[in-house]
Amino acid sequence: MSNSYILTDNLSVKDGVLFFGGRSTKELAEKYGTPLYLMDEKRIRQNCCEYRDALKEFFGDDSCALYASKAASFVGIYRIISQEGLGADVVSSGEIHTALKAGFPMENAYFQGNNKTDWDIAYAMDNGVGYFVCDNVEEVDAIDKIAAEKGLKQKILLRLTPGIDPHTYDEVCTGKVDSKFGTAIETGQAMEITAHALSKPNIILCGFHCHVGSMVFDSDVFLRSAEIMLQFISDVKNKLGFEAGILDLGGGYGVRYVSSQPVISIRENIKEVAKFIKAKCSELGISRPSIRLEPGRSIVADAGITLYTVGTVKKITDYKNYVSIDGGMTDNPRYALYESKYTVVPADKTDEPATMECDLVGRCCESGDIIQPKVMFPGSVCRGDLVAVLTTGAYNYSMASNYNRIPRPPVVMVNGDEDYIAVKRESLEDLTLNDI
């Protein structure tokens, strides 16, 4: 087959076998079984480093990246990102708990979400979460009240919607005025919530946040949202006399799932955003806020692949072919949800010509259980063959389910010559642990 599946430099081929992070996928599949999430620790660290270095170079020491841990949340990943000097965006008490287990410095955690319960708020405060990214007026009131009860003052950012459509897919478009997230600038409600937050004695308003969407390839999206946010910061300064210290522009840089998608230079993008922000701040006469970015996908996506074993190969004469694997929408629901594109590789037969078109499907009792339609496989594909689905490091493990009571696969890290289990394979016993 053609080598268009070499999407990143941590993929290679030797004797027809796909290598990931310099390691044979065949040997790793034999050692750990399939389905198997593989993650490349070196690549995660490189991706962290790219953000860290570019933010330092173009904004200075006061700015930093927060890893959006919804992309992949397990104890080991919080250890890696804290070692790399990134903060974390957490969205639930579950993610906070996981970060705590990793010994993550919680003062560097930013708690997101459009509907934090009182319990979540109290749990986050009890565990020293640094910042709440506060979504709405009820939350401002609840944070103020709970902080008063605990005798503390809570730092917050206000999440605003700049009214931007980044032209990605609807499910991940979050910056538009009618979004369920944040408070709209356009309607005047953002100014109102800012005044409200400033009036609360147990809240320290530190700045503003926005996140316009995911899988963004166009750097213009970040420039447009920065422009609107800086204008708002300037308006707030003029109207309320408050100058924001922090501007969090969210996450969203796109990654390469298939070879037709571009490779984004994070450094070049951050350079462009920095140049724009500096110019805009001097034009508006405001001091440059300290910047936060919240990358999720671009930290972990290309640091992950999933390995499966082929079971059934069904050829429906004159209609279509199916290759069924031992996983499915339970470990990767992204095609079922968003029709996401993926690159599929017959991992132990890469040297054979790919002549047969098939739908790659899972083992769930549901016709929508498709990993990827219209994939080319060698005509010899059969039970026992190894299949790799690439770029699965983001939003695969974290969105996995136990539908059909299928246990979730393990997450195995490769790091040069080493490999180790970061998350154990779920057992059948695990599935009934909470059943009474």
The one among 162, 175, 289, 296 contacting ligand LLP by CB under 6 A: 296
- Interacting stretch for ligand LLP, rule CB under 6 A, among 99-107, 248-256, 364-372, 408-416? 248-256
CA geometry: angle 388, 394, 397, nearest 5 deg: 75
Pairing of strands 290-293, 131-134: unpaired
Interaction between residue 336 and ligand LLP (CB under 6 A): no
Min separation Cβ 112 and ligand LLP, Å: 5
Nearest Cα to Cα of residue 103 among 133, 123, 81, 121: 81
Q: Does 26 bind ligand LLP (CB under 6 A)?
A: no
Closest to ligand LLP by CB, 19 vs 132, is 132
Query: How many residues lie near ligand LLP (CB under 6 A)?
Result: 19
Of the candidates 64, 206, 365, 382, the residue annotated as catalytic is 365
Candidate ranges 232-240, 269-277, 288-296, 315-323; the one touching ligand LLP (CB under 6 A) = 288-296
| Sole window of 12-20, 249-257, 321-329, 384-392 interacting with ligand LLP (rule: CB under 6 A) | 249-257
Euclidean distance between CA atoms 199 and 204, whole angstroms: 10
Paired with 64 in beta bridges are: 292
Q: Shortest approach of ligand LLP to residue 297 CB, angstroms?
A: 3
Q: Assess contact for 157 and 133: CB atoms under 8 A.
A: yes
The residue among 58 and 395 lying less far from ligand LLP, judged by its C-beta, is 395
Residue 211 interacts with ligand LLP (CB under 6 A)? yes
User: Rg for the chain (alpha carbons), in Å?
Assistant: 23
In contact, 372 and 303? CB cutoff 8 Å: no
Name the one range near ligand LLP by CB under 6 A: 222-230, 245-253, 305-313, 376-384: 245-253
**Which two tokens mark 311?**
């079971």
Q: Which of 200, 224, 297, 408 binds ligand LLP (CB under 6 A)?
A: 297
Contact 36, 369 (CB under 8 A): no
Question: What residue ranges in 138-296 does DSSP mark as E strands?
Answer: 154-161, 183-184, 203-209, 246-248, 290-293
Phi-psi region at 323: left, alpha or beta (left = phi > 0; alpha = psi -120 to 50): beta
Q: Exactly one of 139, 294, 326, 385 binds ligand LLP (CB under 6 A); which one?
A: 294
Q: Which stretch binds ligand LLP (CB under 6 A): 7-15, 250-258, 276-284, 319-327?
A: 250-258
Helix, strand or coil, per DSSP, at residue 387: strand
CA gap 317, 406 in Å, rounded: 31
Closer to ligand LLP by CB, 89 or 302: give it. 89
Pick 58 or 111: Cβ nearer ligand LLP: 111
Q: Under the criterion CB under 6 A, does residue 76 sit at the interface with ligand LLP?
A: no
Residue 95 interacts with ligand LLP (CB under 6 A)? no
3-state secondary structure of 8: coil
Would residue 365 show up in a list of annotated catalytic residues for this protein?
yes
- Is the CB of 25 or the CB of 73 nearer to ligand LLP? 73
Distance CA 383, CA 202 (A): 62
Q: Which is nearer to ligand LLP, 323 or 329 (CB)?
A: 329
Instruction: Note whether 229 binds ligand LLP by CB under 6 A.
Output: no
Please give the residues from 166 up to 195 whose contact with ligand LLP meets the rule CB under 6 A.
Answer: 172, 174
Q: Are residues 253 and 216 in contact, defined by beta-carbon separation less than 8 angstroms? A: yes
Tell the smallest beta-carbon distance from residue 135 to ligand LLP (Å).
10
Distance, in Å, from the CA atom of 364 to the CA atom of 241, rounded to the nearest integer, reads: 58
Nearest to 137 by CA among 184, 206, 91: 184
Q: Least distance (Å) from ligand LLP to the CB of residue 334? A: 5
Q: If binding is defined by CB under 6 A, does position 264 make contact with ligand LLP?
A: no
Distances (CA, A) of 9 to 302, 366, 393, 419: 10, 36, 15, 19
| Interaxial angle between packed helices 137-150 and 189-198, expressed in degrees from 0 to 180 and rounded to the nearest 10 | 10
Going along 138-222, which residue ranges are E strands? Answer: 154-161, 183-184, 203-209
Which position among 92, 225, 298, 306 is part of the footprint of ligand LLP (CB under 6 A)? 298
In the list 175, 251, 327, 409, the residue contacting ligand LLP (rule: CB under 6 A) is 251
Q: Is 161 among the residues that bind ligand LLP (CB under 6 A)?
A: no
Task: Using CB under 6 A, list all residues that contact ligand LLP.
Answer: 68, 71, 89, 112, 172, 174, 211, 214, 250-253, 294-298, 334, 395
Catalytic residues: 365
